[in-house]
Amino acid sequence: MRGTKMLILIVIQLICFSSCQPKVMTETTMAKPMEIVPVKPQAIVKNIIFLVGDGMGLGQLSAGTYANGNQSALEAFSVIGLHKPYAQNKLITDSAAAATAFACGKKTYNGAIAVDKDKRSIPTLLEEAEEKGLATGLVASSSIVHATPACYIAHNEYRKNYEEIAADFLDTEIDYFVGGGLKYFQRREKDDRDLTKELQARGYTISDYFQADFKSVVPDSKTNFGYFTADEEPIPVSMGRDYLVDAASKSFPFLKERSNSGFFIMIEGSQIDWGGHANDTDYIISEFLEFNEVIKEALAFARADGETLLVVTADHETGGFAIQKESTMDSIAGAFTSDYHTGTMIPVFAYGPGSELFSGIYENTDIYHKMREAFGWSASGSSGQ
Ligand code: MG
Ligand code: ZN
């Protein structure tokens, strides 16, 4: 990384020295021949928007692009890289180990929620952001205690301990969260706590699908905000789920108002993965098309804001999905080699200040380190392995 930065500096200086040298030497230029041409300071990264399409490999985003009239919001990104998604104990990762890699910069075992291979809690980017006074958010089209969002806010040895993961929401001051899983907060089997009441007692505005349609909800940035979109897992887009784009577009101005220091938010298109597990091409495509709209909203915000780094990737590919020879642009015929995740490398798309850090081929854990570097936070001292 340092090498790359140095190389960029040298290249910029070479370009400036070669193209900025006047043809005729004047007295002034002669007087200071070796003056360093100042490099224009880069825009700072105040906010990071991290978009994760669970199970979105190259096949999935290709199929979604073709099915969308041969275009997607990803084509607006000029910095593209690849990450290696393998876990600490398996070549084929699950979403928990993969999200821990993104959230904490450590490879761990499949099933781990922000704990290392010895089941010790490791700090997450979201927790660090909270400590530094940034506003934070999590949005998912799964339950909010599902592996991908859970790894930013909870620490647990096993991803399916949903009630324990829900209780960990009380350990941070997350500013904005939207997703399913109300029952793990409100009607718990292992204790009688009502975590929605506990959050409200701390000043949160909490609502759910039963009380109000998300479309009609206007989050007030004077208080922390949580909204539950389902009792357990939200339904697929094809069956009528429609909150993800709205939850994304409302989050950006909300978080910007919450803190002058910036924000971090992770937004997950959770069910592209479930289409892969179901070996269902239409499921994959409909979920991708919604996720594509989320990317558009994030791009529009990042473009206007100028201090926002936007990173889009997936945790892994699901289904070994490939587009078959019978396919046309309007009618994708997909085939699958698996009903589980595969080990293929995963594309990363970055936009905005700091985006140049994300080109090349690297470990999934490096995404965490690159985000820290973009924020200007000190190195965490972890090798990432
Ligand atoms: Mg997920
Ligand atoms: Zn999966």
- pLDDT attached to residue 378: 80
The label of the residue with tokens 């937004």 reads 267
For ligand 2, the distance from its centroid to the CA atom of residue 302, given in whole angstroms, is 29
For ligand 2, the distance from its centroid to the CA atom of residue 55, given in whole angstroms, is 6
Would you state the structure tokens that stand for residue 232, as one six-digit string? 């357990």
Ligand nearest to the CA of 54: 1
Domain of residue 108, CATH code: 3.40.720.10
Alpha helices in the chain (DSSP H): 2-20, 27-31, 58-67, 95-104, 125-131, 147-153, 162-167, 183-186, 195-201, 244-258, 272-277, 281-305, 365-375
Ligand nearest to the CA of 291: 1
Ligand nearest to the CA of 96: 1
pLDDT for 97 beyond 70: yes
Give the Cα separation of 44 and 98 in Å (integer).
28
For ligand 1, the distance from its centroid to the CA atom of residue 235, given in whole angstroms, is 14
Q: Is residue 13 in some structural domain? A: no
Which phi and psi (to 5°) does residue 273 adopt?
-60, -40
For ligand 1, the distance from its centroid to the CA atom of residue 259, given in whole angstroms, is 27
For ligand 2, the distance from its centroid to the CA atom of residue 237, given in whole angstroms, is 17
Task: State the average pLDDT over residues 234-259.
Answer: 98
pLDDT in tens, 275-288: 999 999 999 999 99
Q: Is residue 308 in some structural domain? A: yes
Would you state the structure tokens that stand for residue 151, as one six-digit string? 């790894």
For ligand 2, the distance from its centroid to the CA atom of residue 276, given in whole angstroms, is 8
SS3 17: helix
Q: Kindly give the pairing relationship between strand 334-335 and strand 360-363.
A: unpaired
Q: Is residue 31 in some structural domain? A: no
Q: Is residue 61 in some structural domain? A: yes
Give the Cα separation of 247 and 48 in Å (integer).
16
Q: How many domains does the chain have?
A: 1
| Domain residue limits at 307 | 46-375
Would you state the structure tokens that stand for residue 273, as one six-digit string? 């993965």
For ligand 1, the distance from its centroid to the CA atom of residue 55, given in whole angstroms, is 8
Give the Cα separation of 82 and 63 in Å (integer).
19
State the pTM of this model: 0.88
pLDDT in tens, 129-180: 999 999 999 999 999 999 999 999 999 999 999 999 999 999 999 999 999 9
Task: State the average pLDDT over residues 338-348.
Answer: 98
Q: Is residue 327 in some structural domain? A: yes
How many Cβ atoms sit within 10 Å of the Cβ of residue 366?
Answer: 23
SS3 101: helix
Q: Kindly give the pairing relationship between strand 334-335 and strand 322-323.
A: antiparallel
pLDDT in tens, 10-51: 444 444 444 444 434 444 444 455 565 554 456 789 999 999
Give the Cα separation of 161 and 240 in Å (integer).
28
User: Which sign does the torsion angle of CA 173, 48, 133, 122 carry?
Assistant: positive
Q: Is residue 39 in some structural domain? A: no
Ligand nearest to the CA of 316: 2
User: Known catalytic residues?
Assistant: 95
Q: Is residue 32 in some structural domain? A: no
Give the Cα separation of 204 and 177 in Å (integer).
11
- pLDDT attached to residue 24: 42
Q: Is residue 322 in some structural domain? A: yes
Q: Whose CA is closest to 107, among 94, 82, 88?
A: 88
Contacts of 149 (CB under 8 A, 6+ apart): 99, 138, 139, 140, 142, 177, 179, 266, 268
Would you state the structure tokens that stand for residue 110, as one six-digit string? 């499949």
